[in-house]
Amino acid sequence: MRSKRAVILEQLQAVSLTDDASFDIGEAALLLAAFDHPGTALAPYRTHLSALADDARHATTRLASVGVQVMALQRVLLTRHGYSAGEADPASWGDVDLIDTIDRRQGQAATLGILYVHAARAYGAAIEVLNFPQSFLVRLTARGQRVIIDPVDVRRTLDAGDLRRRLKLLQGQAAEVNAAHYEAISDREALFRLYNGLKISAIAAGTLPRALDILEALRVLVPARSELWWETGVLLSRLGNVSTAISTLEAYLSAAAPASGRDQIEDLLKRLRARAP
């Protein structure tokens, strides 16, 4: 009988195999959160996500102005379903527990942003996550207009001055906004960045088993990223599981033809084999 973790990984793999246009950010975020909630039934959360999508479809359309769409999304998320933001703190953007956010109807930029994107995608909105550092900002486009929204403060939109001030707060007074910060990233990439941040925090805290768990989920979400497999080998070896590290990396190289990073992985394998008993 398969473990619940194996079932979640299998379901996450099914989501990850879809192309970016069909990628379901709500379902993927729910499955990623499920790793920290063993035994929690996901059906009620999927029902809630479906309700958000249905309500958004009834509230507005992609043909409405950006102002009308923003107000409709506010009514759905804030008024009808009672969501609110925790204390606005740029450093807390990486809070990614969607299950906890749905339970409490309160979250930070990442989970609230995921819910806004999920609801807006339901009616075909042109909404995208921006490539802005340490922030989960979304841009909504309609009828020749664009607005940038911070999910923790959706009652106002952000202009160039707001973004400049935010960047300086995050990276220092010398930082300046450039064109790259206005570029869109895929929903999949947004989730990868969030969970990669969790992995980095786990490594910094010395909780390597936790980091390995996150890496396992990330390898399913974005299997083509060879650096995730290299990091897995390194962490396994640091925990003394050299044989497992070797077999994991060998299996990856035999099953895939990484576009980059192969030499780095083969070099790590060479060093691990020299250490193997």
Give Cα separations from 238 to 3, 82, 169, 203, 250 (angstroms). Answer: 26, 45, 36, 11, 18
Q: What is the DSSP string of 57-94?
A: HHH--TTS-HHHHHHHHHIIIIIIS--EE-S--GGGTT
229 with 252: CB under 8 angstroms?
yes
- Kind of pairing, strands 106-107 and 157-158? unpaired
DSSP state of 174: T
Mean pLDDT of 40-63: 97
Mean pLDDT of 128-143: 95
Residue 94 pLDDT greater than 70, yes or no? no
Q: Which of 38-47, 162-171, 268-277 has the lowest mean pLDDT?
A: 268-277
In this structure, what is the dihedral angle of CA atoms 183, 188, 192, 195, given to the nearest 10 degrees?
120
pLDDT value of residue 2: 73
Residue 95 pLDDT class (50, 70, 90 cuts): confident
Give Cα separations from 268 to 172, 246, 277 (angstroms). Answer: 36, 9, 16
Which residue's structure tokens are 């009514």? 75
pLDDT value of residue 1: 64
pLDDT value of residue 224: 84
Quote the CA–CA distance of 115 and 151 in Å, as a whole number.
9
Quote the CA–CA distance of 42 and 30 in Å, as a whole number.
8
Residue 72 pLDDT class (50, 70, 90 cuts): very high
Neighbours of 109 (CB within 10 A): 26
- The dihedral of CA 46, 51, 56, 57: what is its sign? positive
Classified as helix, coil or strand, 141 is: strand
Give Cα separations from 93 to 89, 114, 194 (angstroms). Answer: 7, 12, 9
Give Cα separations from 218 to 1, 8, 149, 213, 231 (angstroms). Answer: 24, 13, 27, 9, 11
Residue 64 pLDDT class (50, 70, 90 cuts): very high
- Average pLDDT of every residue of the chain: 92
Residue type, 106: Q
Residue 152 pLDDT greater than 90, yes or no? no
Residue 124 pLDDT greater than 60, yes or no? yes
pLDDT value of residue 11: 96
Residue 260 pLDDT greater than 90, yes or no? no
pLDDT value of residue 12: 96
208-258 pLDDT per residue, tens: 999 999 999 999 999 888 999 999 999 999 999 999 999 999 988 888 777
Mean pLDDT of 9-35: 95
159-202 pLDDT per residue, tens: 999 999 999 999 999 999 999 999 999 999 999 999 999 999 99
Quote the CA–CA distance of 256 and 248 in Å, as a whole number.
12
CATH class of the domain whose range is 187-275: mainly alpha
Which residue's structure tokens are 């033809």? 257
- The dihedral of CA 112, 114, 115, 121: what is its sign? positive
When comparing pLDDT for 87 and 96, which is higher?
96
Looking at the chain, the whole-number percentage of residues with pLDDT higher than 90 is: 81
Enumerate the domain spans of the chain. Answer: 4-185, 187-275
